[in-house]
Structures are given as structure tokens and as C-alpha cells.
Amino acid sequence: MMLPPLRPGGAGRAATGGEPRRGSLHLGPARLAQPFSKSGLILSMFVEKPATGGRTHDDCFNYYWPRARRNPLIEPQSVQVEHGDRYTKVTYRSLDIPNVNYYFCFKDSWVDLHLSLPPINQGEQMSLSDFESRLRYGEE
């Protein structure tokens, strides 16, 4: 899935049905939060310049995850971290709801992409792995 352009300090909206919209990420301090009502997924994203000057996916992960993991609703035994070429991925459960964070560096910006899958609208539910198989970022 390609997300629509995000402008510094602004918010964008992602497609909620039909064919995914294509576009590139215009990275700067920006937030995106979009419920995918048909699929049940809830997506939020934070984009900003690196806080520590690091330029790798693990630098982004090492900055954000220690802060995020302080959430008392995260079930510590459920946390799994995967370090990959395109992102560092953290999966976990919070109040028995599956969650995933993708941490990556793109165009000298850090991206924290968070998905959760609450048990609502089970009819057309998309799994987190379905989303991941469609996740793309980069130059058009």
C-alpha cells in the first residue's frame, strides 16, 4: 500500500477502499491516523527528522521503542522484534489486541508506522500480515 503525500507539519489521509492510492511520502514532521473501517485495521504514523542523528532503521527503533514499550497495556511476553532490510518490526498484544510497529528511515527522516487490529467489523477483516505484504515506500 502506498500512502498519499505527507507535507511537513501536515496530515494526510490514506485510501479506505478499492484500489490503494499511490504516491510517495513527502517526509517532514507529520502525523497520519486513519481507521480502515472495512478492514478493521487502525493505522497511525509519525514522521520526523532523526532525534539522535542516526540514519538506520535500528536507530529509529532504538529511539522510539524504549518509549513505546513503557505503555503499561502492552503484554511484555507478547513482544517480538525482527530486524530487516526495509524496517525494524515490533509485534505485540495490548489488551489482547494485535499490534505492530514498523520503524524505518527514509530520505533522512524517521518513520514510526503503527497498526492495530481491534476485534470489530470482522466481516472484511485484513490481517496484519496482509497489510505487511502490501506495504511499500520509496521513490515512484
Note the pLDDT tens digit of each residue in 59-82: 999 999 999 999 999 999 999 999
- Where in the chain are the domains? 30-134
Burial classification of residue 136, based on how many CB atoms lie within 10 Å of its CB (0-12 exposed, 13-18 middle, 19 or more buried): exposed
For position 86, what pLDDT does the model report? 92
Note the pLDDT tens digit of each residue in 100-119: 999 999 988 999 999 888 87
Q: Per-residue confidence at 128, pLDDT binned at 50, 70, 90?
A: confident
30-134 CATH fold: Alpha-D-Glucose-1,6-Bisphosphate; Chain A, domain 4 (3.30.530)
Separation of alpha carbons 94 and 75, rounded Å: 6
**How do strand 42-48 and strand 30-35 relate by DSSP bridges?**
antiparallel
